[in-house]
Amino acid sequence: MASPAPALPPLDLARAPAGGEIGPVQSGWRLALREFSRNRLAVIGVALMVFFILFCFAGPLVYHVNLLSTNLSIASSPPGAGHPLGTDNEGIDVLGEIMKGGQASLEIGFLSAIFAIVVGALWGAISGLVGGLLDGALMRIVDVLLSIPFLFVVLIVAVRYGASVLSLSLLIGIFTWLVPARLVRGEVLTLKTRDFVAAARTAGSSRWRLINRHLLPNAFSVIIVNVTFNIADAILAVAYLGFLGFGLHFPNYDWGDLLSNGTQYLLDGYWWLIYPVGIAIIATVMACNLIGDALRDSLDVRLRRR
C-alpha cells in the first residue's frame, strides 16, 4: 500500500462511454431496465403480453365477425376459409370469441391487480409505519383473510349475487391484496429505520407525506413484482369460475367459459374449441409469471449484475 495509486485519466464525458472507463451515473431504474431487457425470458413475456392485449382489444377493430347471432348451418366447422379457427356449436366464429373472451379475462386480471396493489400498499404502509396495537390488529385481519380458501368464497358470492367484470374484479381483489400488504409492511419496517426517513420526519413531514413520498416509492419494487403474479392468479381464478359454470353471464364471457363450452365436445374431437383458447390462457398467465420473475431479479439490487 506504499505506492501511490495511479492517477485517473482526466474526466472527458464526451469520450467516456465509448471508452468504457467512466460512465455517467445511472439511476436505479435505468439499471433495472437494462437488466430486465437483457433477460431473454422477460422479453418473451413482455412480447406475449403486448401481443395478447393488442389481439384482444385492437383485434376486433380489424377482424369483424358476428358474435351474437347463431348460424347452425355452419355449426362446429373446423378451421378453414372465412373462419381461421373454425366455429363453435352455434356457428359463431372462434377467433372472434377468443378476442372478446380475452377482453374480460384481461380486464378482470388488471382491475383486480390494481385494487389489490392500492389497498395492499396503503394497508401495509400504515401498518408498518404506525406499529403497535394497530399494526397487530391490521395484520391479524390479513392473517384471517389469508387463511380463508379464496376460491370458495369467490364461488359462493358469485353464485349468490351473480358475476360481472366489475364485481369479479372487486371480489378477487379483496382476496389478493393480502400478500402485497404483508410485503409492503415488511419493506416499510426496514425502511423506516433508515436515515432519510428520520430526516424527513425532522423536517416536519406529515405521516401521509412520509408514506406517499418516501416509503411507497422505495417499496415500489416489491409492489410491482407482485402485480404481475396477481394478474396471473386473477386470470386463472376467472377461468375456474367460468369452467365450473358460475362465471360471467352471456353475452359476456371469458376464456374459462369458452374452454368450458369446448370441453363438452371432447368426445367429438372438436380440438379447435379447446386448444386455441387453452393456449391463450397458458400463454397469458405464463407471460405474467415470466415478467414477474424477471422484474424480481432485475429490481433486487443484491441479485443485479453491476
Partner 1 sequence: MSAYLVRRFGTSIVVVIGISIFTFMLLHAVYPSPARVVLGPRASLPAIAAWNKENGFAGSVLSQYWHYVGQVLHGNLGYSFKLNQSVVALFGERWARSAYLSGISLLLSILIAVPLGIYQAVKRNSWGDNVATSLAFTAYAMPDFLLYLIAIQVFALTVHAFSYEASQSASLFAVMGDWRSMTLPIICLTLLIVAGFSRYMRSSAMDTLAQDYIKAARAKGLPERLVLYRHLLRNACLPMITLVGLSIPALLAGNLIAETVFNYNGLGLLFYNSLQNEDYPVLLAYTLVGAVLTVLGNLLADIALTVADPRIRLATPSR
Residue 20's H or E segment, with its range, is none
Between CA 212 and CA 301 the distance in angstroms is 22
Extract the C-alpha cell encoding 67: 358474435
Q: Which positions ≥6 away from 16 have C-beta within 8 Å?
A: 22, 23, 24
Taking the least distance from each CB to partner 1, the nearer of 150 and 211 is 150
Nearest approach, Cβ of residue 183 and partner 1 (Å): 15
Residue 269: CB minimum distance to partner 1, A = 9
Residue 87 φ then ψ, to 5°: -125, 160
Cell 386448444 locates to 275
The C-alpha cell that represents 101 in the structure block? 373472451
Q: Which is nearer to partner 1, 142 or 215 (CB)?
A: 142
Grid cell locating 113? 391487480
Instruction: Assign residue 30 a region (left: φ > 0; alpha: ψ between -120 and 50; beta: otherwise).
Output: alpha
Choice between 211 and 237, CB closer to partner 1 = 237
CA dihedral angle for residue 102, residue 103, residue 105, residue 109, rounded to 10 degrees: 130
Residue closer to partner 1 by CB (options 74, 283) is: 283
Q: Quote the least distance from Cβ 275 to partner 1, whole Å.
A: 9
Minimal distance, residue 95 CB to partner 1, in Å: 19
On whether the CB atoms of residues 139 and 125 are closer than 8 A, the answer is no
In the chain, the N- to C-terminal Cα span, in Å, equals 26
Residue among 224 and 274 whose Cβ is closer to partner 1: 274
Binding site for partner 1 (CB under 8 A): 140-141, 143-145, 147-153, 155-157, 159-160, 232, 236, 239-240, 243-246, 256, 259, 263, 266-267, 274, 278, 281-283, 285-286, 289-290
CA distance 12 to 20: 11
| Dist. CA 190–CA 185, nearest whole Å | 9
Judged by beta carbon, residue 90 or residue 268, the one nearer partner 1 is: 268
Q: Which residue has the cell 445511472?
A: 26
C-beta of 123 vs 215, nearer to partner 1? 123
| CB of 91 or CB of 186, closer to partner 1 | 186
Least distance to partner 1 from the beta carbon of 212, Å? 29
Contact 228, 292 (CB under 8 A): yes
Tell the smallest beta-carbon distance from residue 107 to partner 1 (Å).
18
- Which of 217, 226, 221, 141 lies closest to 176, judged by CA? 226
Smallest gap from Cβ 110 to partner 1, in A, equals: 17
